[in-house]
């Protein structure tokens, strides 16, 4: 009876506890069972179905609505600040005044859309009127969950929450929630049960949300029902954005691949990068791997990360082609720098360098706005990069959102053609060490410009001794790849080191290979002049001679042979003998067969530098190394044969010197030398028979091996004695003798042992 009552109590208790736990866990464990209010994120939902997506895309309107949305009609920037107090404010660009300002904790960047400002403040998501700053409502973020972003449609706010980790194999759960824009009342919610969601994007009647970095779930805005799903097969999906021109998504860059931007359309259902409508900058990978938007699987923060400071910016326009940008330009933001690229040629159009770090950028129809970390607004024209428009707000922003589309500042454009060559050079010589990766990258961009004058620019940059070694290394690399601009390099050959006039020799280790790569025959006399100049460092001789080898002719033979005759034994070339060897190659190439014996004489002279001798052996006889190796192998083989013969002779002599049989003395001495092997056997026998005074052994010895066998022992009745001695004898080797076999005996006499008197046995 008692057991039944206990059970009646326990069962309801645990059921109640389970329900409380599931609700208390806010869906982490039991959320999909108790909290999901719409049908989405099912594991078996069909993916990449063209018909499903077509129903969605056919209802999405595209336009070029580039206009300010707030009621004032003024270009406004919404900013959050941390100093002097945390808060939110609106800055009117046209009046240069703060429209409104409120104090509130700020825990996320701003979302600004449909005249509404959204952000996380403390443990709530708060909505504010963008015109007045009036708070509309707050929606709590449940304990344990994190806010990942939001977007706003005409009358609905969609929020993304997450719990767990985005790392593969670790627990994660995502929650997508819709609340009414007017009062924050929840309309529906869905939990993935598996994997995080990124920031959602709304367009028309649909929500597009990235899921697990491989999928985009398309959700009906009014019901929360999933109606289509895209899955990426060979790339990741790190963000989704909606603009007036459509829905776009993107994948992050890597150290080897530039980021890609995708337009969401029917081709997205292929799941393949190359088969989708994709825009990928045709440039080499950029340092720090910037993307086309923030990775929305990272928790949003008001603390700027490196990826926030290094990013591509763009503004797509309505077009019949998959991608067309306003101004036909896309921008790279790198801390203080902006580099504008032509969207067709992917060449640098212009560059911009701010005196301080740029916090946030915003592309508009005719250019791009930037706000610095101290709150100064700047604007650059899309075509020229020119700007004389600057506005200081005096506000230190932590996050920024713009409502300025359609606004273009009045700037004085000079009409000059932008000069990316000049701008990139300024970047390269910038002293900001934080910018070294992009300064190195700027060297690549400069070299890619189709202008023969770039060669002279690179040479001039290399001459700047203040540049870091890594940057100079890149300049050398790019100079060596140049195919035009030989004139600047040839002109530099006329300059020689002169102590009195304080002139430095040109960097021949850089110039000579570049001229050879260009096939600049006109450089021959200048190269020869530099080579023959006694002031030229010996470490540069090889590079110059290698270029002469490629560009030369018979006119160089006489002066170069005189040079090698003079310097072949000069100790100043130790460590740089390859330069002298290369000169010999030039003489042999253009001087013909008559110079081969002359070079051979230099090789054979006792005073010739040893390393030069070694290299000349190969130059004069390209197969010299193989021959030397073959000779060394043959010599080693002959030595081995001689060694084997010596061993065989020694063995034969040893056999010839053997006696016909062993003497008793030889046998006794051999046993005495190995007494340590027999001693344990005798000691063991004494323990069994203390009266033992001697042990007699009789055995045979084989003449060829000197090994004993057939042991007999007296006395024979001591247990284990014969076996022990037999095992010990097998380890003894007697001198070898000519006879086949010989009988032997040996007596071991036992002395010095204290034995009991006869009466002690009783």
Q: Between residues 156 and 496, which one has the greater pLDDT?
A: 156
Instruction: Tell me how far apart the alpha carbons of residues 499 and 505 are, in angstroms, rounded to a whole number.
Output: 11
Per-residue pLDDT at 255? 77
pLDDT confidence of 70, banded at 50, 70, 90?
Answer: confident
Contact 405, 365 (CB under 8 A): yes
Per-residue pLDDT at 15? 36
pLDDT > 90 in the chain, percent: 73
pLDDT confidence of 414, banded at 50, 70, 90?
Answer: low
Buried b / exposed e across 461-471, counting CB within 10 Å, b at 16+? bbeeeebeeeb
Mean pLDDT to the nearest integer, 714-728? 93
Per-residue pLDDT at 359? 95
How high does pLDDT run on average in the chain? 88
Q: Is the pLDDT of residue 5 over 60?
A: no
**Residue 245, C-beta contacts closer than 8 angstroms, at least 6 positions apart:** 62, 63, 64, 316, 317, 318, 319
pLDDT confidence of 12, banded at 50, 70, 90?
Answer: very low
Q: Is the pLDDT of residue 469 over 70?
A: yes
pLDDT confidence of 42, banded at 50, 70, 90?
Answer: very high
- Identify the CA nearest to 251 among candidates 213, 202, 216, 203: 213
Query: What are the tens digits of pLDDT across the range 269-318?
Result: 999 999 999 999 999 999 999 999 999 999 998 888 888 899 999 999 87
Lowest mean pLDDT among 288-297, 460-469, 523-532: 460-469
Q: Is the pLDDT of residue 744 over 90?
A: yes
**Residue 112, C-beta contacts closer than 8 angstroms, at least 6 positions apart:** 78, 118, 130, 401, 402, 403
Per-residue pLDDT at 64? 58
Which of 13-17, 32-36, 147-151, 322-326 holds the top average pLDDT? 147-151
Query: What are the tens digits of pLDDT across the range 359-406?
Result: 999 999 999 999 999 999 999 999 988 877 899 999 999 999 999 988
Q: Is the pLDDT of residue 697 over 90?
A: yes
Mean pLDDT to the nearest integer, 148-153? 95
Query: What are the tens digits of pLDDT across the range 422-438?
Result: 999 999 999 999 999 99
Can you spell out the DSSP letters for 666-731?
HHHHHHHHTHHHHHHHHHHHHHH-TT--EEEEEEEEETTT--EEEEEEES--STTHHHHHHHHHTT
pLDDT confidence of 20, banded at 50, 70, 90?
Answer: very low
pLDDT confidence of 1, banded at 50, 70, 90?
Answer: very low
Q: Is the pLDDT of residue 204 over 50?
A: yes
pLDDT confidence of 760, banded at 50, 70, 90?
Answer: very low
What does DSSP assign to residue 734? P
Lowest mean pLDDT among 84-88, 121-125, 551-555: 84-88
Q: Is the pLDDT of residue 162 over 70?
A: yes
pLDDT > 70 in the chain, percent: 91
Per-residue pLDDT at 323? 86
| Cβ atoms < 10 Å from Cβ of 180 | 13
Instruction: Tell me how far apart the alpha carbons of residues 478 and 313 are, in angstroms, rounded to a whole number.
Output: 28
Half-sphere exposure of residue 234, counting CA atoms within 13 Å on the CB side?
Answer: 7
Query: What are the tens digits of pLDDT across the range 211-257?
Result: 999 999 999 999 999 999 999 999 999 999 998 888 999 999 887 88
Looking at 325-402, list the stretches that DSSP marks H as alpha helix, in order from N- to C-terminal side: none
Per-residue pLDDT at 23? 36
Cα–Cα distance list, 626 to 87, 524, 615, 618 (Å) = 80, 35, 14, 10
Per-residue pLDDT at 33? 37
Query: What are the tens digits of pLDDT across the range 314-345?
Result: 999 877 677 899 999 999 999 999 999 999 99
Query: What are the tens digits of pLDDT across the range 115-146?
Result: 999 999 999 999 999 999 999 999 999 999 99
Mean pLDDT to the nearest integer, 152-156? 92
Per-residue pLDDT at 168? 67
Q: Is the pLDDT of residue 28 over 60?
A: no
pLDDT confidence of 622, banded at 50, 70, 90?
Answer: confident
Lowest mean pLDDT among 190-204, 267-281, 505-519: 505-519
- Identify the CA nearest to 398 among candidates 650, 110, 161: 110
Q: Is the pLDDT of residue 153 over 50?
A: yes
Q: Which two tokens stand for residue 747?
A: 């007596």
Q: Is the pLDDT of residue 149 over 70?
A: yes
Instruction: Tell me how far apart the alpha carbons of residues 602 and 612 are, in angstroms, rounded to a whole number.
Output: 10
Mean pLDDT to the nearest integer, 145-152? 96
- Identify the CA nearest to 327 among candidates 312, 315, 338, 313: 315
Per-residue pLDDT at 244? 85
Compute CA 225 distance to the chain's CA centroid, rounded to the nearest angstrom: 41
Contact 96, 391 (CB under 8 A): yes
| Cβ atoms < 10 Å from Cβ of 459 | 22
Over its C-alpha atoms, the chain yields an Rg (Å, rounded) of: 45
């Amino acid at each position: 009876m008692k057991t039944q009552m206990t059970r009646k109590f326990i069962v309801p208790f645990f059921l109640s506890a389970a329900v409380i736990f599931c609700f208390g866990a806010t869906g982490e464990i039991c959320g999909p069972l108790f909290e999901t209010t719409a049908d989405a994120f099912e594991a078996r939902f069909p993916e990449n179905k063209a018909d499903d997506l077509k129903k969605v895309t056919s209802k999405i309107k595209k336009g070029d609505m580039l206009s300010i949305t707030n009621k004032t009609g003024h270009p406004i920037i919404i900013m959050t600040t941390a100093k002097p107090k945390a808060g939110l404010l609106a800055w009117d660009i046209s009046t240069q005044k703060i429209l409104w300002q409120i104090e509130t904790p700020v825990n996320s960047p701003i979302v600004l859309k449909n005249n509404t400002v959204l952000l996380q403040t403390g443990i709530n998501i708060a909505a504010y009127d963008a015109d007045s700053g009036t708070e509309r409502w707050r929606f709590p973020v449940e304990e344990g969950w994190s806010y990942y972003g939001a977007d706003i449609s005409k009358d609905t706010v969609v929020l993304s929450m997450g719990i767990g980790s985005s790392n593969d194999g670790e627990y994660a759960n995502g929650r997508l929630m819709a609340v009414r824009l007017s009062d924050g009342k929840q309309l529906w919610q869905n939990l993935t049960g598996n994997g995080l969601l990124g920031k959602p994007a709304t367009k028309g009647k649909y929500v597009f949300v990235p899921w697990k970095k491989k999928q985009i779930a398309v959700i009906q805005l009014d019901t929360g029902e999933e109606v289509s799903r895209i899955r990426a097969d060979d790339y990741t999906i790190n963000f989704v954005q909606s603009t007036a021109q459509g829905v776009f998504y993107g994948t992050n860059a890597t150290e080897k691949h530039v980021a890609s931007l995708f337009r969401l359309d029917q081709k997205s259902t292929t799941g393949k990068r190359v088969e989708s409508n994709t825009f990928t900058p045709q440039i080499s990978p950029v340092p720090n791997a910037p993307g086309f938007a923030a990775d929305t699987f990272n928790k949003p923060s008001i603390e700027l990360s490196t990826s926030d400071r290094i990013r591509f910016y763009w503004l797509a326009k309505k077009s019949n082609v998959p991608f067309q940008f306003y101004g036909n330009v896309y921008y790279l933001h790198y801390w203080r720098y902006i580099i504008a690229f032509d969207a067709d040629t992917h060449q640098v159009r212009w560059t911009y360098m701010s005196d301080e770090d740029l916090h946030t950028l915003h592309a508009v129809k005719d250019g791009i706005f930037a706000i610095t970390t101290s709150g100064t607004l700047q604007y650059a024209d899309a075509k020229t990069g020119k700007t004389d428009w600057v506005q200081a707000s005096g506000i230190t922003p932590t996050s920024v959102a713009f409502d300025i589309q359609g606004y273009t500042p009045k700037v004085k454009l000079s009409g000059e053609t932008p000069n990316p060559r000049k701008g990139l050079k300024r970047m390269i010589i910038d002293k900001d060490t934080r910018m070294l990766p992009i300064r190195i990258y700027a060297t690549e961009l400069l070299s890619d410009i189709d202008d023969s004058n770039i060669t002279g620019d690179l040479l001039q940059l290399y001459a700047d001794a203040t540049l870091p070694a890594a940057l100079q290394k890149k300049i050398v690399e790019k100079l060596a790849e140049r195919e035009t601009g030989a004139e600047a390099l040839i002109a530099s050959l006329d300059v020689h080191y002169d102590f009195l006039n304080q002139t430095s020799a040109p960097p021949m280790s850089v110039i000579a290979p570049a001229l050879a790569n260009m096939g600049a025959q006109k450089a021959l006399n200048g190269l020869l002049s530099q080579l023959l100049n006694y002031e030229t460092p010996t470490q540069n001789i090889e590079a110059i001679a290698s270029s002469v080898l490629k560009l030369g002719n018979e006119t160089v033979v006489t002066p170069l042979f005189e040079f090698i005759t003079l310097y072949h034994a000069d100790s100043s070339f130790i460590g740089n003998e390859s330069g002298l060897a290369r000169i010999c190659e030039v003489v042999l190439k253009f001087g013909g067969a008559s110079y081969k014996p002359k070079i051979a004489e230099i090789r054979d002279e006792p005073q010739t530098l040893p390393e030069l001798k070694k290299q000349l052996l190969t130059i004069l006889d390209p197969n010299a190394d193989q021959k030397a190796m073959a000779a060394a192998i043959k010599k080693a083989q002959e030595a081995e044969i001689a060694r084997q013969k010596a061993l065989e002779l020694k063995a034969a002599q040893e056999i010839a010197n053997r006696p016909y049989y062993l003497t008793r003395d030889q046998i006794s001495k051999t046993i005495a030398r190995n007494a340590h092997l027999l001693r344990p056997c005798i000691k063991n026998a004494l323990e069994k028979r203390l009266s033992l005074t001697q042990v007699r052994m009789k055995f045979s010895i084989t003449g060829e091996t000197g090994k004993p066998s057939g042991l007999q022992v007296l006395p024979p009745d001591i247990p284990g004695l014969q076996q022990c001695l037999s095992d010990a004898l097998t380890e003894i080797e007697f001198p070898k003798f000519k006879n086949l076999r010989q009988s032997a005996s040996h007596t071991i006499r036992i002395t010095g042992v204290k034995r009991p008197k006869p009466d002690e046995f009783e």
